[in-house]
Amino acid sequence: MQPFTYAPVADAAGAAARALQGASFIAGGTDMLQLLQEGVAQPAELADINRLPLQGITEDADGAIRIGALTRLQDAADDARLREAFPVVTEALDLTASPMVRHMATVGGNLLQRTRCLYFRDVSTPCNKRLPGSGCSALDGENRHNAILGGSEHCIAVQPSDLPVALISVDAEVQIQHADGAERWVPVEDFHRLPGDTPQIETVLRQGDVILGLRIPAHARGRRSHYVKVRDRASFSWALASAAVALRLDEGGRVTEARIAVGGVATKPWRLPRVEQELLGVRLDRDRARLAAVWAAEGAVTRSGNAFKQPLLQRTVERAIIEAGELA
């Protein structure tokens, strides 16, 4: 662990100013502490943003729901309005980590947790994301957890968060403030970036940005939504594959709107437009769900250890569609 200075900050402007100077933020610390201990993150300054007034969930007059960046995952999971309006989000939170972690971890931090790629977190091995140009050990290594979608020859690391997968299915946006005071909104879908040849750059955030919160728009209300997560044990582990499905059905049971995103399989929370398209206008049944889900793994590139994710992804999406459509 490299020595660093610790600087509590009181407001977003102060935080952004520190970040512009190169400080890293610590919120719940559930990921940051691991990164510091393993020597993966070596910030010169750690700005503690826990006192920023960005906690809690509010409802706009139009029915949109806002979640402050520092809201703890458990508080979000316990929010009755969120559960009622966007069950997929709550379900994803319920299946995230463990109660202990959820009581510390924040919504903003969750969007930014780093990959669980085994090589990224072990500084004794080459990794392009951690040390650009050093090589990617996962390509021919222990890549069971790595991505089959969105990878490049430089990096196939999975973005492991559950929450953003669910957020994509309800068209959520991230609110960001820059050190210059400017605010902007970015759809969660566009927030993370593909690794390409710069796997060290993971999001659209720039130095000097701070996340203020999230907004789930009112228009996403009323979709039937559901989150399915497959993992190696019954709780407290990241997804091997997960799927968030949000569907709107007309009175005749036809799909008029579909949003499907998946996690655990891709280098960023991954939307599946082709699967959505396959569902539009159809009356849902189990066969339809299966046929549509086949497209989930379109473009997948598998490696020695993660080929199983291709069928697993398809079946996870199928299951999520069936359960969201209450076809079980």
Partner 1 sequence: MNAIIGQPVSRVDGPAKVTGHATYAAEFDLPGLVHAAMVVAPIPRGHIRSVDTAAAERAPGVLAILTHENAPRLPYHQIPQRPQVDAQSGEQLHVLQDAEVRFNGQPVAVAVAETLEQAVHAAELVRIDYARTPALTIFDPARGRPPSEGNVKAGRVPELGRGEAEAALAAAPVRVEARYTHPREHHNAIEPHVTIAHWEGEHLTLYDKTQWVDNDRKEIAHVFGIPEERIRVVSPFVGGAFGSALRTWPHVTLAAMAAQRVGRPVRLELTRRQLYTSIGFRPHSEQHVALGATKDGRLSALKHEVIQQVGRYEEYAETVLSPTSHLYSCPNLLARYRLVEMDTNSPCPMRAPGVVTGVLGLEMAMDELAVELNIDPLELRLRNYAETDEQKGLPWSSKELRACYATAAERFGWSRRRPEPRSMREGDQLVGYGMATAIYHSDRSAATASVALTGNGGAVVRSASSDMGPGTYTSMTQVAAETLGLPLEQVRFELGDTNLPYAPVHGGSVTMASLGNAIVAACGAAQKKLADLARAAQQGPFSGLPSEAVAFHGGGLARADGSGSVVPYAELLRQHNLGWLEAEGSAQPGEETKKYSSAAFGAVFVEVRVDEALGTVRVPRIIGAYDVGRVINPKTARSQCIGGMVGGLGMALEERADWDARFGRVMNANLAEYLVPVNADIGVTEAIFVPNDDRNFNPLGVKGLAEVAICGVAPAIANAVWHATGRRIRQLPITPDVLL
Ligand X SMILES: Cc1cc2nc3c(=O)[nH]c(=O)nc-3n(C[C@H](O)[C@H](O)[C@H](O)COP(=O)(O)OP(=O)(O)OC[C@H]3O[C@@H](n4cnc5c(N)ncnc54)[C@H](O)[C@@H]3O)c2cc1C
77 and 85 Cβ atoms separated by less than 8 Å: no
162 binds ligand X (CB under 6 A): yes
Separation between Cα atoms, residue 103 and residue 157, nearest integer Å: 26
Shortest distance, CB of residue 280 to ligand X, whole angstroms?
Answer: 29
Q: Which residues contact 259 (CB under 8 A, 6 or more apart)?
A: 168, 169, 170, 171, 220, 223, 244, 245, 246, 247, 271, 276
109 binds ligand X (CB under 6 A): yes
Q: If contact means CB under 5 to 8 A according to the sort of partner, which of ligand X, partner 1, ligand SF4, none does residue 69 touch?
A: ligand X
Q: Which residue's CB is nearer to ligand SF4, number 264 or number 325? A: 264
Would the CA dihedral through 301, 302, 307, 309 be positive or negative? negative
Q: Which residue's CB is nearer to ligand SF4, number 18 or number 145? A: 145
Q: If contact means CB under 5 to 8 A according to the sort of partner, which of partner 1, ligand X, ligand SF4, none does residue 230 touch?
A: partner 1
Pick the binder of ligand SF4 from 113, 137, 169, 175 (CB under 6 A): 137
CA of 282: how far to CAs of 255, 258, 319, in Å?
Answer: 6, 11, 17
Would the CA dihedral through 201, 204, 209, 210 be positive or negative? negative
CA dihedral 127→297→245→30, nearest 10 degrees, is: -10
Number of residues that bind partner 1 (CB under 8 A): 38
Residues between 191 and 220 that touch ligand X (CB under 6 A) = 210-211
Tokens 């990241």, located at residue: 238
If phi over 0 gives left and psi between -120 and 50 gives alpha, with beta otherwise, what is residue 81?
alpha
306 binds ligand SF4 (CB under 6 A): no
314 binds ligand SF4 (CB under 6 A): no
239 and 231 Cβ atoms separated by less than 8 Å: yes
| Phi then psi dihedrals of residue 77, to 5 deg | -65, -30
**Sheet strands (E) in the chain:** 5-8, 24-26, 45-48, 57-59, 65-68, 173-178, 183-187, 209-216, 224-230, 241-249, 255-263, 270-271
Pick the binder of ligand SF4 from 30, 74, 90, 115 (CB under 6 A): 115
Residues between 55 and 114 that touch partner 1 (CB under 8 A) = 98
Residues between 15 and 44 that touch partner 1 (CB under 8 A) = 34, 37-39
Binding mask 197-226 for partner 1 (x = CB under 8 A): ------------------------------
Pick the binder of ligand SF4 from 19, 70, 127, 279 (CB under 6 A): 127
86 and 216 Cβ atoms separated by less than 8 Å: yes
Q: Which residue's CB is nearer to ligand X, number 148 or number 239? A: 239
Shortest distance, CB of residue 32 to ligand X, whole angstroms?
Answer: 4
158 and 264 Cβ atoms separated by less than 8 Å: yes
Binding site for ligand SF4 (CB under 6 A): 115, 117, 119-120, 127-129, 136-138, 146, 155-157, 199
Binding site for partner 1 (CB under 8 A): 1-3, 34, 37-39, 98, 116, 118-119, 121-122, 124-125, 137, 140-142, 144-145, 230, 232-237, 240, 305, 308, 311-312, 315-316, 318-319, 328
The residue ranges that bind ligand X (CB under 6 A) are 24-32, 49, 69, 96-97, 101, 104-106, 108-110, 112-113, 161-163, 210-211, 236, 238
